[in-house]
Structure 1
Amino acid sequence: MCGICCVVSLTSSQCKLHDHVYERLRHRGPDHSRDVIKRASNPEYSCLFSAHVLHMRGRLTPQPLQDDDGNLLLWNGEVFDGLMVEPEENDTKVILDHLSACKTPSDVLSVLSQVKGPWAIIYYQKEEHCIWFGRDFFGRRSLLWSWGLDESSFTLTSVSSRSPEPLSSSNCLEVPAVGVYRVDLKSWSQRESVKVEVYSWSYLDSDFTWEGLPSSVSFITNDSGLVLSSPVPPMNMSITDVEPNSCNSGQTSLDDLKELLKSTGKRETVCRLIDVLGEAVRRRVQHLPHQSNPDQAQVAILFSGGIDSMILAVLADRYIPPDQPIDLLNVAFKLQEPKTKQGSGKKAQNNKKEHASHDVVTSLQPKFDVPDRITGRDGLRELATLSPSRKWNFVEINVTQEELREMRTKNICHLVHPLDTVLDDSIGCAVWFAARGTGVVSEGTQQRQHISTAKVVLTGIGADEQLAGYSRHRVRF
């Protein structure tokens, strides 16, 4: 994912991007970095646009990308459908070409409504003195906002920091993925407050409330009542009738599933689902930039050996050339050492002997054989049977408690900011260590160090949400 940022100020002071934020943005886009400053005198404002590109498609296209009229685009996204993007083209250039032809807000919404894929956007229209920004319907790309204490500046950024200094960068909030937003800089410069126009997605609740923002910031629905076309229809709340005796017990067995698939209708439904998932994987793994070293993987999978990651691996195997390796990234956090109780006298002597014997046994047990590691190895063997010609790199990423504490404080807590729940932390830690891709690969009785070069990492995150896999879905539906 690219790193994009915009700092807007209505004062004559120069826009500044603090070093720690800039560094985190740069790490998101290692292939190209550039800053562009835009200034206007009537109305008076200045904007700093900073973009850091992770090259994923077509020719490397530097950002911020500017057209002949001075309009400027920062794009962190992927166009998988909706707008025509040829394999050799870069989607950032395609998006800007479409936006440059827009004459009205309705035209802008028409372009963004067509995009099928994850995205976050910051778009500056020079002649109108306005900035558009927002995220896709599902909020799959990060975008944060913060408003200056002087109420005359604001920042949009892919990533921020938990650091208490400066205060303006530590109070960032996620931009709600309820639509796209438009700030009229000319209008803002002429009044003490700023009104943000909202162009919401269709089907969404119009009573959404924005929280944690200064009183000088207000949100208004655009006067024209324009909306973005939603990429998904309203949720299907109906429940298919269950065939009698389709399951003999509370737990579904393999025989039950085989019996279920004997139904032509059910089998066709399953095939359609596999086709949809397969097409999604195909669009993600194909047309990547050329890799100079054919022995290095371009695609990796966050791999636990569970059903989600196994399905992704099988589908990826369909669409990635058979001579290219696939990295299976398996993250394991070191098992906690059992605590020993201290005693005295003869009982303590016996305890020491017992502990010594126990230590001999536990020392022989691998410290990283967590459940996901065990199932991951089982999954590797199954994949090797299904596709023996493929080189599967099972990358064991072993994380000690000391390294986890260090990296959580140094990097991870800032990257997940402003989210701060236990679930955010646990997912963030697993994804961060997987994305770093540093581990070992076993080859027979030998192990070698391995650093994944893949820019695309497939994850099964979201499968339970899409397929009603949580226990709460039983109650709700």
Structure 2
Amino acid sequence: MCGICCSVSFSVEHFSKDLEEDLLCNLKRRGPNSSKQLLKSDVHYQCLFSGHVLWLRGVLTPQPVEDERGNVFLWNGEVFSGVKVEAQENDTQIVSEYLSSCKDESDILSLFSEVQGPWSFVYYQASSHYLWFGRDFFGRRSLLWHFNDLGKSFCLSSVGTQTSVWQEVPASGIFRIDLKSAALSRHVILKLYPWKYNSRENTAEECVNSLSQISADLPAFVSVVANEAKMYLEKPVVPLNVILPQAPLETHYSNVSSIPPTRETLQGFLTDGHMKGVIQQFIDVLSVAVKRRVLCLPRDENLARSEVLKACDRKANVAVLFSGGIDSMVIATLADRHIPPDEPIDLLNVAFMTEEKTKPTCSNKKWTKQKNHCEIPSEEFSKSVAAAANSDKQFSVPDRITGRAGLKELQAVNPSRTWNFVEINVSLEELQKLRRSRICHLIQPLDTVLDDSIGCAVWFASRGIGWLVTQDGLMSYQSRAKVVLTGIGADEQLAGYSRHRVRFQTHGLEGLNKDIVMELGRISSRNLGRDDRVIGDHGREARFPFLDENVVSFLNSLPVWEKADLTLPRGIGEKLILRLAATELGLLASALLPKRAMQFGSRIAKMEKNNEKASDKCGRLQVNS
């Protein structure tokens, strides 16, 4: 993962050889292992490229990458499939080499149609004065744009600042700007190469709608147009199966309204041979997706023999955003299959203070600082100890309770694994302070109460500073994992939200199918850019197994009733296929947990104003530095 930025100026007086200090600082937090800048000057324009690398695979490759013809490449992504990248190779270098060999725009589109994995990029073609940029089909990597009001400059960046207005680059396809033409005409034309299903005929209508939506929020000197050749990127997943049953669906039970949410009920579904086969296919494809995401990173086995760490000092390379709910439980269980057995896995569990502080009594507690792990400033340590001592009462939120129960279930599945259950406790004071200084600009340009709640909760969780309960006592701990796995994408595809049940009750399976199409279509703008910025701020990379292209294609290929059955009660009907997979994996307790949104499970939604709606504009995010 990287922080990438390209600043373009069409006038000498507006050109700066350095990025703004706060933007540079924000980018460096995303890429702590290497920083580099490159200036490309032309008679008509100047481009400043800035790359900040989080090293995860192959040889550390500083960015920006410049080839022998003066082309410049910035890459914030991972190639998990589609384009061959060997274990010892760096994907930035490989993709850059492919781009250098591209003869025309068709070759560029073919390349990005083949890459499977999350990405955003900026690519400058020196000879043609073209600047290409874009995000992957799901928008799993952030890319923002900011256009100067006078039309004399613009900037593309992984992350923005609090002092300027930034917008997310839509994950509608790849954009191309002719910089020389823009400089001469003082008008920036964004040519769009959209995503398209190869077999569909309604691309023109889709593209027109997309262009009007994109143009609506841009200044007058910026236009969005379709490319003249009507070329496109091929969508990396198969279309959603919207087939409807010809007859009423058969069920194992005569009265579905009285079906109890029990493990016996779930196991009853698995007596059906077809369903059992579907579940095994789902487990297999999701397991491969998790494997790709936990093995593409450097590990301690690369150390010389003399440097091999003792088991107690082994660091976790992978963390899971962990509530104990079914999404995170299945991800953790599958990660356990592929991560080396002597390597710990960090389970990051966040809770927000639910009641007034009371004076803690610490006389019966053992307190230790963990060597090499604790980065809590010493002057704050006594406060942290006091808060942790009283944490059972103050932070006993739903996600903490299910998280501890989930930990026990994981320990039963694999007792030999070191599972680091990291209890991350956040007070109102700390939330308000760090929202103002560190989190606001990461959530923006999103600005609702829901974005505030989820963005802040994910930021504190992925920071990974908390407490471990060990045999020696309560231990302060900071995760050093560079990769954070999240379960996002499961609810969107498997009818996990309460709104899906309402939709089904009013519009049936047809309406539910339309909702699932809509959910995946908007996940880039509603969730993924924000979550990438928030998690990346800690020098960690977010990875999304449920949004692996092969996982999405498999789920899209199934009729909706094999994924969810909303005639069944909560705790069974929603995400039915995932509950059955959890049952097969031995997760019998968590398989029955009903969906609980992160903002309620962590109790952040109850911290400040209780009368807000999730869709309201959040004034707390409108804080300028």
Q: Same fold (TM over 0.5)?
A: yes
Offset at residue 287 of structure 1 (A):
3.3
CA distance in 2, matches of 1:426, 1:368: 17
Query: Relative CO higher for 1 or 2, CA cutoff 8 Å, sep ≥ 6?
Result: 2
CA distance in 2, matches of 1:392, 1:143: 34
Q: 1:448 aligns with which of 475, 486, 510?
A: 475
CA distance in 2, matches of 1:237, 1:186: 46
State the secondary structure of the residue aligned to 2:491: helix
Q: Is 1:243 the equivalent of 2:250?
A: yes
Q: 1:212 aligns with which of 205, 217, 232?
A: 217
Residue in structure 1 matched with residue 591 of structure 2 by the alignment? none
Residue in structure 2 matched with residue 466 of structure 1 by the alignment? 493
CA distance in 2, matches of 1:247, 1:438: 50
Residue in structure 2 matched with residue 286 of structure 1 by the alignment? 295
Residue in structure 2 matched with residue 198 of structure 1 by the alignment? 192
Contact 1:246 1:256 in 2 (8 A): no
State the secondary structure of the residue aligned to 1:366: helix
Question: For residue 95 of structure 1, what is the amino acid of its counterpart?
Answer: V
CA distance in 2, matches of 1:369, 1:99: 52
Question: For residue 395 of structure 2, what is the amino acid of its counterpart?
Answer: F
State the secondary structure of the residue aligned to 1:190: helix
1:108-150 C-alpha deviation (Å, 9 max, x unpaired): 0011100001100100001111100000001110000011122
CA distance in 1, matches of 2:254, 2:192: 49
Residue in structure 1 matched with residue 406 of structure 2 by the alignment? 379
Offset at residue 254 of structure 1 (A):
2.7
Residue in structure 2 matched with residue 183 of structure 1 by the alignment? 177
CA distance in 2, matches of 1:431, 1:395: 14
CA distance in 2, matches of 1:235, 1:364: 45
Map 1:3-42 onto structure 2 (within 5 A). 3-13=3-13, 14-15=15-16, 16-41=18-43
Question: For residue 249 of structure 1, what is the amino acid of its counterpart?
Answer: V
Offset at residue 242 of structure 1 (A):
2.4
Residue in structure 2 matched with residue 233 of structure 1 by the alignment? 238
Contact 2:252 2:268 in 1 (8 A): no
CA distance in 2, matches of 1:267, 1:299: 30
Structure with larger Rg: 1
CA gap 1:254/1:334 in 2 versus in 1, 3 angstroms: same
Question: For residue 318 of structure 2, what is the amino acid of its counterpart?
Answer: V
1:391-420 C-alpha deviation (Å, 9 max, x unpaired): 111111111111011111111111111111
CA gap 1:147/1:246 in 2 versus in 1, 3 angstroms: same
CA distance in 1, matches of 2:411, 2:265: 27
| Alignment gaps of 5+ in structure 1 | 164-169, 340-362
CA distance in 2, matches of 1:281, 1:76: 20
Contact 1:85 1:91 in 2 (8 A): yes
Q: Is 1:325 the equivalent of 2:344?
A: yes
1:232-290 C-alpha deviation (Å, 9 max, x unpaired): 22222224562144463335443332221111110111111111111110000013113
Question: For residue 215 of structure 1, what is the amino acid of its counterpart?
Answer: A
CA gap 1:191/1:249 in 2 versus in 1, 3 angstroms: same
Question: For residue 20 of structure 1, what is the amino acid of its counterpart?
Answer: D
CA distance in 2, matches of 1:365, 1:309: 22
CA gap 1:436/1:247 in 2 versus in 1, 3 angstroms: farther
Residue in structure 1 matched with residue 454 of structure 2 by the alignment? 427
- Relative to the length of structure 2, the TM-score reads 0.69
Residue in structure 2 matched with residue 223 of structure 1 by the alignment? 228
Moved more, 128-137 or 462-471: 462-471
Q: 1:307 aligns with which of 300, 321, 326?
A: 326
CA distance in 1, matches of 2:249, 2:400: 36
Q: Is 1:276 the equivalent of 2:285?
A: yes
CA distance in 2, matches of 1:129, 1:25: 26
CA distance in 1, matches of 2:143, 2:226: 21
Contact 1:143 1:158 in 2 (8 A): yes
Question: For residue 194 of structure 2, what is the amino acid of its counterpart?
Answer: S
Map 1:83-122 onto structure 2 (within 5 A). 83-122=83-122
State the secondary structure of the residue aligned to 2:346: strand
Normalized per residue, which structure has more strand? Answer: 1
CA gap 1:258/1:222 in 2 versus in 1, 3 angstroms: same
Percent identity of equivalent pairs: 51
Question: For residue 441 of structure 1, what is the amino acid of its counterpart?
Answer: L
Contact 1:162 1:418 in 2 (8 A): no
Offset at residue 467 of structure 1 (A):
1.1
| Alignment gaps of 5+ in structure 2 | 198-202, 304-308, 359-389, 504-510, 513-625
Contact 1:247 1:256 in 2 (8 A): no
Question: For residue 89 of structure 2, what is the amino acid of its counterpart?
Answer: E
CA distance in 2, matches of 1:176, 1:40: 28
Contact 2:159 2:442 in 1 (8 A): yes
Question: For residue 196 of structure 1, what is the amino acid of its counterpart?
Answer: L
1:272-328 C-alpha deviation (Å, 9 max, x unpaired): 111111111000001311336561110011111111111011100000011101111
CA distance in 1, matches of 2:480, 2:429: 25
Residue in structure 1 matched with residue 445 of structure 2 by the alignment? 418
CA distance in 2, matches of 1:23, 1:327: 27
CA gap 1:365/1:397 in 2 versus in 1, 3 angstroms: closer
CA distance in 2, matches of 1:469, 1:65: 42
State the secondary structure of the residue aligned to 1:237: coil
CA distance in 1, matches of 2:357, 2:33: 45
Question: For residue 192 of structure 1, what is the amino acid of its counterpart?
Answer: R
CA gap 1:412/1:282 in 2 versus in 1, 3 angstroms: same
Contact 1:246 1:260 in 2 (8 A): no
CA distance in 2, matches of 1:450, 1:471: 36
Q: Is 1:74 the equivalent of 2:79?
A: no
Offset at residue 365 of structure 1 (A):
5.5
Question: For residue 421 of structure 2, what is the amino acid of its counterpart?
Answer: F
Residue in structure 2 matched with residue 405 of structure 1 by the alignment? 432
Measured on the aligned residues, the alpha-carbon RMSD in Å equals 1.9
Residue in structure 1 matched with residue 124 of structure 2 by the alignment? 124
Question: For residue 422 of structure 1, what is the amino acid of its counterpart?
Answer: V
CA distance in 1, matches of 2:67, 2:357: 62
Question: For residue 218 of structure 1, what is the amino acid of its counterpart?
Answer: S
Question: For residue 307 of structure 1, what is the amino acid of its counterpart?
Answer: I
CA distance in 1, matches of 2:296, 2:149: 45
CA distance in 1, matches of 2:146, 2:392: 49
- Relative to the length of structure 1, the TM-score reads 0.90
Residue in structure 1 matched with residue 377 of structure 2 by the alignment? none
Residue in structure 2 matched with residue 436 of structure 1 by the alignment? 463
Question: For residue 285 of structure 1, what is the amino acid of its counterpart?
Answer: V
Residue in structure 2 matched with residue 360 of structure 1 by the alignment? none
- For these two proteins, the number of residue pairs brought into alignment is 447
Normalized per residue, which structure has more helix? Answer: 2
1:418-454 C-alpha deviation (Å, 9 max, x unpaired): 1111221122112211221111111136011111110
Question: For residue 182 of structure 1, what is the amino acid of its counterpart?
Answer: R
State the secondary structure of the residue aligned to 1:145: strand
